Amino acid sequence: MKWYHYIACFFAGMFLANAVPHFVQGVTSMPFPTPFANPPGKGLSSPTVNVLWAMLNLVIGYLLFRAGKIANNNKWTVIVFFAGVLVMSVMLSWSFVGIQR
């Protein structure tokens, strides 16, 4: 494995973790912050924008997952992938504190 495969693994985890809250809020018809809100990341975007943002994150995450060559027989790719999931999840929990719906 090349070093850049591990970078892809990490960012695949981040993008896939970021897709989850946007997708859930979008399909449940709840507004939620996106980079397209006013102010970016703090204001609320429509459920449709959230679903579209989630799908973009899913596509990018999937492409990075494939580029990272994540496989069960390579424990380090799996560990790095879940490290990306953990980092993004913690960052999202900090950034969405206090959002009123």
pLDDT in tens, 15-36: 999 999 999 999 999 999 999 9
pLDDT digits (tens, 9 = 90+) for 56-89: 999 999 999 999 999 889 999 999 999 999 999 9
Query: For the chain, which residues make up each domain, given as ranges?
Result: 3-95
User: Nearest-CA neighbor of 22 among 55, 54, 57?
Assistant: 54
**Reduced to 3 states, what is the DSSP secondary structure of residue 11?**
helix
> Does the reported pTM lie above 0.85?
yes
Residue 41 confidence (pLDDT): 81
